[in-house]
Amino acid sequence: MSEKDLNALFLDTLKDIYYAEKQIYKALPKMAKAAESDQLRAAFEKHHDETENHIQRLEQIFELLHKPARGKKCDAIEGILDEGKEIMEEYENEPALDAGLLAAAQAVEHYEISRYGTLKAWAEKLNMAGAIKLLDQTLAEEKKTDETLSRIATSVVNAEAA
């Protein structure tokens, strides 16, 4: 019987965020297409490109661990993305559409920030120097995206929704 230690938990969580990033990568173009604000659309398109890099970094971490890059279904991201789809359907052509899209995108960002922060802390505890660097890069980008979305919300989108 194998012992479920921090290494096992790290790998499970890595698989979780790998799956999540791939789902996010598929969802972002749909969100960009639905967005009415040019700023919001541009933010989604930029993050789509960044997400491709996030997936590549995760694949590098799998390589460092000598494990295949394989995702594990993440119910949390499925639920968050489903909420985004509902907003796109229920608020299509409505003033609050972009505010709803933005809120859904920030829920995704907050999930990712939580996961990457946890993985980085565990990588530090497990002395995984290569993984720490890669996770830190992605964590910084996720935080920057969240800040960009907040700025778009407060400067444009929320006022238009009101």
What domains sit in the chain, N to C, each tagged with a CATH number? 6-161 (1.20.1260.10)
| 31: its two tokens | 């969100």
What is the model's pLDDT at position 95?
84
Angle (nearest 5°) at CA 3 between 112 and 64: 50
| pLDDT per position as a tens digit, 130-146 | 999 999 999 999 999 99
| Contacts by residues 136-141 (CB-CB < 8 Å, ≥ 24 positions apart) | 137/57, 138/53, 138/54, 138/57, 138/58, 139/113, 141/50, 141/53, 141/54
Query: Region 16-27: what's the mean pLDDT?
Result: 97
Question: If you count them, how many residues does the chain have?
Answer: 162
Residue 2: pLDDT over 80? no
Residue 49: pLDDT over 90? yes
Residue 24: pLDDT over 70? yes
What is the model's pLDDT at position 157?
83
Residue 9: pLDDT over 90? yes
Q: pTM (2 decimals)?
A: 0.93
Sequence-ordered list of residues with C-beta below 8 angstroms from that of 19, at least 6 positions apart, any chain: 71, 72, 73, 74, 77
| pLDDT per position as a tens digit, 59-99 | 999 999 999 999 999 999 999 999 999 999 999 888 899 99
Rounded Cα gap, residues 101 and 40, in angstroms: 9
| 57: its two tokens | 């970094």
| pLDDT per position as a tens digit, 90-112 | 998 888 999 999 999 999 999 99
